[in-house]
Structure 1
């Protein structure tokens, strides 16, 4: 399956929206979009990784989010992660990343 990335700006943040599967074949797209967003936004705006359209998140995707968290933190920009499905959320819980990242369930 493919991964579609879109970027939208709002008053409180830059939303990097992913739809599809994040795995070894598609993670570079997510990593690149998050990297660009971390460099484009300045505080108090946040980068929001909206994964509500993601149906599968491999460990490579979790690693990309950790890298984005480190880049955004270094730039003083908050990173928020929106998760819309229980299977994706489980990966964060199993690895303990739900305690490290600003993780929120989408509505």
Structure 2
């Protein structure tokens, strides 16, 4: 399956919306979109990684989110992650990243 990424903005956030599977073959797309959002956003604007349309998130996707968290944090921009399904959330819980990242069920 492929990964489709779209980006949009509201008054207080830049959204990176992913739909499909994030794995070794598609993670570069997610990295690129998150890098651009972290670079473009300025406090108090947040970056929101909306993974509600993601059906599979490999460890490479988790690494991309940690990298984006570090980059955004360095710039003073909060990163929020929307996780839409239990299977994707499980990866965050098993690795302990649910304690590091600001996970949400919806916008």
- The TM-score range, normalised by the shorter chain, is over 0.9
Deviations 1:34-69 (A, max 9, x none): 001000000000000000000000000000000000
Q: Trace 1:43-58 onto structure 2 (pairs within 5 A).
A: 43-58=43-58
Q: Kindly indicate whether residue 85 of structure 2 is the aligned counterpart of residue 85 of structure 1.
A: yes
- The alignment's TM-score, normalised by the length of structure 1, stands at 0.98
- The alignment's TM-score, normalised by the length of structure 2, stands at 0.98
Following superposition, the deviation at residue 105 of structure 1 comes to 1.0
Aligned positions, number: 107
> RMSD value over aligned CA atoms?
0.8
Deviations 1:64-101 (A, max 9, x none): 00000000001110000000000000000000000000
Gaps of 5+ in 1: none
Superposition misfits of 4+ residues, deviation over 4 angstroms: none
Gaps of 5+ in 2: none
Distance 2:73 2:32 in 1: 17
Following superposition, the deviation at residue 106 of structure 1 comes to 2.1
Query: What SS does the aligned partner of 2:97 have?
Result: coil
Query: What SS does the aligned partner of 2:77 have?
Result: coil
The equivalent residue for 1:39 is 39
